[in-house]
């Protein structure tokens, strides 16, 4: 089971609900029981123009997963 949902991850990536720094275009929870994956797209600097599939440990909470996404687009 995934410890975060798409909604809680998006809330962490855009905590003020306005900047939309990174968007989650595709969310595949629990692809093999231990990993989830997302397709993240950077909207504004320093992430603008970057897009990647990022694998996340399903046991992470939303804030841990958000840090992995940010690092993945850095």
Give the model confidence (pLDDT) of 8-61 as tens digits.
Answer: 999 998 876 666 688 899 999 888 888 999 999 998 888 888 999 999 998 899
Q: What is the pLDDT of residues 6-20, one digit of tens each?
A: 999 999 988 766 666
Does residue 53 contact residue 73 with C-beta atoms inside 8 Å? no
* Rounded Cα–Cα distance for residues 9 and 48 (Å): 19
pLDDT band for 71, please (50, 70, 90 cuts): very high
Domain span holding position 32: 6-73
Whether 1 is covered by a domain: the verdict is no
How many separate domains does the chain show?
A: 1
Whether 16 is covered by a domain: the verdict is yes
Whether 45 is covered by a domain: the verdict is yes
Query: What pLDDT, on a 0 to 100 scale, did the predictor assign at position 1?
Result: 56
């Amino acid at each position: 089971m995934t410890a975060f949902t798409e909604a809680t991850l998006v809330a962490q990536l855009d905590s003020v609900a306005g900047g939309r720094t990174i968007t989650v275009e595709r969310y595949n929870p629990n692809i093999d029981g231990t990993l989830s994956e997302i397709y993240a797209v950077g909207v504004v600097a320093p992430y603008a123009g970057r897009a990647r599939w990022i694998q996340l440990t399903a046991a992470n909470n939303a804030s841990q997963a958000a840090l992995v996404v940010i690092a993945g687009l850095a």
